């Protein structure tokens, strides 16, 4: 890494484009970022009752989150201590976690309860082979995990973000989980995050989005804190409702797009009560898995939900084409770096500084 990279980032020069394709950088990120960060695990509703579990990833490492008999929320590396098989898949409810390979069976507190034929092994101690613990925390309807058990609490990273959402009238208690969408993008996770962090591209790449949301640089507000950043704007004034892809009139007056280090986002469109959690999971130097969990107010109709989700999906498809083009260009080695337009892209600069700091 160049010793003057930090100063170049300050001037608006981007991270080197080979950082988007270099397997060594990707491997370093797994150790320095994804083994040491609070990462979105899923919806708290899926682990609300004893025995309910769900699986996720902390970077490449599989994790299982489970509610135990005493209503404690636990998380573990989802790898059997025998020969490294994933113990749990998907989500469900059961009072033990059993590896499908050789039936090593774990309690909901992670302790090994049964290992077939272990009585034949002199000195075998079940207490030595429990599932490895992972940090876990809840924020409203969201669950996060962190492989670093000594990491600062989730609240230290959230900062003022809960207050910003509350002041905007975004009330988690009035929202209900609806469904999840998943897809894969052929692009590095950093390219996907950076695309999310600016709307400089919106007038060109998102014509329907730009009909609904005012993306003018004087109206589209960009702010950042230590570990998160925000994009907030109003519905475009004077827009003819019959010409819009969905009706933005309702209890929510503003569009809110909030990013939390490193890969968690909250997305709220103007209109009826809605919220989408979009999270990015690195799946390789040039591949990112994306998941979005949708929440809506109880009285939002199926037709209103369908129109909002169709609107969001269209924006997602347009973004996918853009970031996959970035990845092809980065893989080519044809350009060493870029130059940000800081008046519109300073949230990318903020993100890249965090990446550089983590990897330095």
State pLDDT tens for residues 117-151. Answer: 999 999 999 999 999 999 999 999 999 999 999 99
State the pLDDT at residue 3.
Answer: 56
318 Rama class: left (phi>0) / alpha (psi -120 to 50) / beta:
alpha
Share of the chain above pLDDT 70, in %: 99
Does the pLDDT at position 60 exceed 50? Answer: yes
First-to-final CA distance of the chain? 8
* Largest Cα–Cα separation, the chain: 79
Does the pLDDT at position 55 exceed 50? Answer: yes
Alpha helices, H only, 180-301: 189-196, 202-205, 207-212
Does the pLDDT at position 26 exceed 50? Answer: yes
State pLDDT tens for residues 208-251. Answer: 999 999 999 999 999 999 999 999 999 998 777 878 999 999 99
Confidence class for position 2, pLDDT limits 50, 70, 90? very low
d(CA 265, CA 323) in angstroms, rounded, equals: 17
Consecutive H or E run containing 157: helix 154-158
Does the pLDDT at position 21 exceed 50? Answer: yes
Measured from the Cβ of residue 283, the count of other Cβ atoms closer than 10 Å reads: 17
With CA atoms as reference, report the closest residue to 199 among 289, 319, 291, 292.
Answer: 319
State pLDDT tens for residues 158-179. Answer: 999 999 999 999 999 999 999 9
Share of the chain above pLDDT 90, in %: 96
| Buried b or exposed e, range 157-192, using 16+ CB within 10 angstroms | bbeebeebbeeeebeeeebebbeeeeeebbbbbbbb
What are the structural domains, with CATH classification, of the chain?
39-150 (2.102.10.10), 155-359 (3.90.380.10)
Q: Is the dihedral of CA 233, 293, 139, 64 positive or negative?
A: negative
Does the pLDDT at position 343 exceed 70? Answer: yes
Contact between 308 and 314 (Cβ < 8 Å): no
State the pLDDT at residue 239.
Answer: 75
State pLDDT tens for residues 276-314. Answer: 999 999 999 999 999 999 999 999 999 999 999 999 999
Contact between 52 and 66 (Cβ < 8 Å): yes
The C-alpha angle 229, 232, 235, rounded to 5 degrees, equals 160
Does the pLDDT at position 316 exceed 90? Answer: yes
State the pLDDT at residue 1.
Answer: 46
């Amino acid at each position: 890494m160049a010793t003057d990279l930090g100063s170049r980032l300050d001037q608006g020069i981007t991270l080197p484009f080979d950082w988007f394709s270099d397997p060594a950088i990707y491997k370093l990120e797994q150790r320095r970022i994804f083994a040491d960060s609070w990462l979105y695990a899923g919806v708290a509703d899926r682990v609300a009752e004893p025995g309910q579990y769900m699986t996720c990833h902390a970077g490449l490492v599989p994790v299982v989150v489970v509610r135990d008999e005493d209503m404690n929320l636990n998380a573990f590396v989802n790898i059997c201590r025998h020969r490294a098989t994933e113990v749990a898949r998907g989500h469900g409810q059961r009072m033990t976690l059993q590896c499908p390979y050789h039936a090593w069976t774990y309690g909901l507190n992670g302790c090994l309860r049964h290992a077939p034929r272990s009585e034949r092994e002199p000195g075998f101690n079940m207490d030595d082979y429990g599932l490895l613990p992972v940090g876990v925390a809840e924020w409203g309807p969201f669950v996060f995990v962190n492989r670093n058990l000594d990491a600062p609490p989730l609240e230290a990273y959230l900062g003022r973000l809960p207050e910003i959402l509350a002041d905007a009238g975004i009330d988690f208690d009035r929202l209900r989980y609806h469904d999840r969408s998943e897809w894969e993008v052929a692009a590095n996770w950093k390219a996907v995050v950076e695309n999310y962090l600016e709307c400089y591209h919106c007038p060109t790449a998102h014509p329907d989005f730009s009909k609904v949301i005012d993306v003018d640089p004087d109206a589209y507000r960009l702010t950042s804190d230590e570990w998160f950043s925000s994009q907030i704007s109003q519905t475009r004034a004077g827009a003819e409702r019959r010409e819009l892809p969905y009706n933005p009139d309702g209890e929510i007056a503003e569009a809110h797009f909030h990013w939390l280090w490193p890969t968690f986002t909250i997305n709220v469109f103007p209109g009826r009560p809605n919220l989408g959690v979009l999270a990015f999971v690195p799946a390789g130097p040039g591949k990112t898995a994306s998941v979005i969990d949708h929440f809506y107010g109880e009285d939002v109709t199926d037709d209103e939900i369908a129109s909002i989700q169709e609107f969001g999906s269209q924006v997602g498809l347009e973004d996918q084409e853009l970031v996959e083009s970035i990845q092809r260009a980065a893989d080519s080695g044809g350009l060493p770096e870029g130059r940000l337009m800081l008046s519109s892209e300073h949230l990318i600069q903020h993100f890249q500084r965090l990446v550089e700091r983590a990897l330095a």
